[in-house]
Amino acid sequence: MDLTKGHFDKQIKQLNAGLDERFEKQTRILMAYTDQQIEKLAAMVADGFQEVKELLDVRGRVQHLEKEMREIKEALNV
């Protein structure tokens, strides 16, 4: 086995290349996972806002109450 500086440099270069590839692969996996989680979170937030919007939207109830009030007034001749 050749124990020269060139030999060690070559070995280190090969190790670094392998580490770089693994790092890039893990980074791509992590970025894909992060994107999925962000999409899920966005969907949850949108669903939550829709639910709140539906709870706060009382127009139908108000229209129904106004109709009932008119009917009551008509029945009482007010």
Question: What pLDDT shows up at residue 6?
Answer: 82
**Cα–Cα nearest to 44, from 36, 55, 32, 30:** 36
Question: What pLDDT shows up at residue 1?
Answer: 55
Question: What pLDDT shows up at residue 2?
Answer: 63
3 state SS of 64: helix
What is the CA angle 68-78-76, rounded to 5?
A: 65
CA distance 50 to 5: 66
Q: Is the pTM of this model over 0.75?
A: no
Question: What pLDDT shows up at residue 24?
Answer: 93
Question: What pLDDT shows up at residue 64?
Answer: 94
10-residue mean pLDDT profile of the chain (78 residues): values are: 77 86 94 97 91 87 94 88
